[in-house]
Amino acid sequence: MPATDSRVVLLALCGALLAACAEPPPPVVRTSTPEELDPAVRRLVGRLADEAEAAPRSAEARGRLGLGYEANLLWREAQASFEQAIPLEEGDPWVWELHRAIVLREAGETRQALEQLRQVVDERPESSAARQRLGLALLELGDAAGAVEAFEAVMELEPGEAAGYLGAGEARLLLGEPRVAADLLEKAVELSADPAQARYRLGLAYRALGREEEAASALALGLEGEPELLRDPRSSALREYTVYLAARLERAAKLLESERLDKASTLLEICLDDHPERPTVLNTLALTRLAQDRPDEARELLDRSLAADPEYFETHLILASWATRTGRIALALEETGRAVEAAPGNAAPHTARSQALVAAGRYGEAAASLERALELEVRDPRIYLALGVLYEGTERWSDALALYRRSLERWPALVPAWLGVARTSLALGDTEKAREAVDAALRLDSGHPEAHLLALRLEEEEG
């Protein structure tokens, strides 16, 4: 054998020997209680674990398994999977390090997560997602000054995103700088596609500045909670892997709200395959069927839901809506009465009861139901609006006007409330206020037919 060939064979043998002597990778992380998982989660993480076992030295496979656990709130399993992925990664493991830090924080290990996040930011200072997570961890641990620095870096990296302004505003508020905080949070409200959390924090800043009326409006429109998170290179996979039931139902509700009925229906049918007798699934799909004008299918789903849990008040509410829509007013009254009995401290049954009473022509009782709903839920502008319409119908002009204005304090872009202000102001002889309200409605919806009719009426009144 030539010398060159001998060296090649020798090198190959050495390589094989080294591979055989290398420490084997650790066993793939599997949950110890798979039978307790949501069926969709069990299938997902089982598939991802099988793929990781088929490629035992693949950082990608271990990392994707970690993402599957993370997406479905299995923090410890996710942490262990990311810790396996990091040493196997032949390139830069910063994304797996970032997600390890994320799940550490979610599991309550905020200080350990903070140290990990500092390392990721040092390695990848251009990652706005890592800096935002660092700022949130610092806020959680009470280091508002450090959080300001982190969020200001986010503002520089992502000037068109609300995240940096929102975080910096909250940190400035904690530092006792409400005026600076208000400026930042106003910018966050302006930039955010869903500004509820920014509005809530802005309300706190206004309150600290003594701007009580503006504070009340912002707080009523806002929500507590964590801000929307900036995307990192694995965000798409994380969303794809989020399959636990509560998340899917929330996604379906948003699809239903935005009238993407076919997509909502498809998602809910998948959920129903796994949870054929779960009232929340049956009810949400029934609402979708009502929106699709398929009342017979909606009723079938509601009957299944009642069979599964006869006392679940939301089923009675949806059945009442079905009954009103199909002209069965007596049934609507019966079902809303059951819902009120089942959940007397919840505003929704009282609101639904009022709708059934209006359909039955019992306006005084309908107003009383809405008044009770307002006692239970003072934040919902739709209740003020509905009660204003009832008062207006009985010519209680001043009371109706006050309710419409209260509604607008909580939802300034609510066109029907502006139109209510216009109608009641006209009835009270205040054409100037009526004109202001009509103009506001037209700014929000330039093609609204009632707004144009009221504008014509005002022209006649003023002419």
Give the relative orientation of helices 94-106 and 110-123 as an angle to the nearest 10 degrees.
160
CA gap 125, 158 in Å, rounded: 13
Residue 16, classed as helix, strand or coil, is helix
Mean pLDDT calculated for residue range 258-262: 94
Residues above pLDDT 70, as percent of the chain: 95
Place of tokens 């809506």: 321
More confident residue, 4 or 181: 181
Q: Return contacts of 179-185, CB within 8 angstroms, 24+ apart.
A: 179/209, 181/205, 181/208, 182/206, 182/209
User: 452: burial class by Cβ within 10 Å (0-12, 13-18, 19+)?
Assistant: middle
Decide: helix, strand or coil at residue 322.
Answer: helix
Interval 266-282: pLDDT, tens: 999 999 999 999 999 99
Cβ atoms of 197 and 166 within 8 Å: the answer is yes
pLDDT for 41: 97
Lowest mean pLDDT among 56-60, 221-225, 228-232, 352-356: 221-225
Overall average pLDDT of the 347-356 stretch: 94
At position 386, the amino acid (one-letter code) is A
10 Å CB burial of residue 232 (0-12, 13-18, 19+) is buried
Q: Alpha-carbon Rg of the chain, whole angstroms?
A: 29
How confident is the model over 417-440, as pLDDT tens digits?
Answer: 999 999 999 999 999 999 999 999
CB within 8 Å of 130: residues ≥ 6 apart: 94, 98, 117, 120, 121, 124, 232
Determine contact, residues 99/67, Cβ cutoff 8 Å: yes
Phi-psi region of 142 (alpha: psi -120 to 50; beta: other; left: phi over 0): left
pLDDT tens across 285-340, in order? 999 999 999 999 999 999 999 999 998 999 999 999 999 999 999 999 999 999 99
Give the length of the chain: 463
Close Cβ partners of 233 (under 8 Å, ≥ 6 residues apart)? 95
Task: Please provide the DSSP assignment of 390-421 as one string.
Answer: HHHHTT-HHHHHHHHHHHHHH-TT-HHHHHHH
The more confidently predicted of residues 5 and 166 is 166
User: Which domains, and CATH codes, for the chain?
Assistant: 23-221 (1.25.40.10), 395-463 (1.25.40.10)
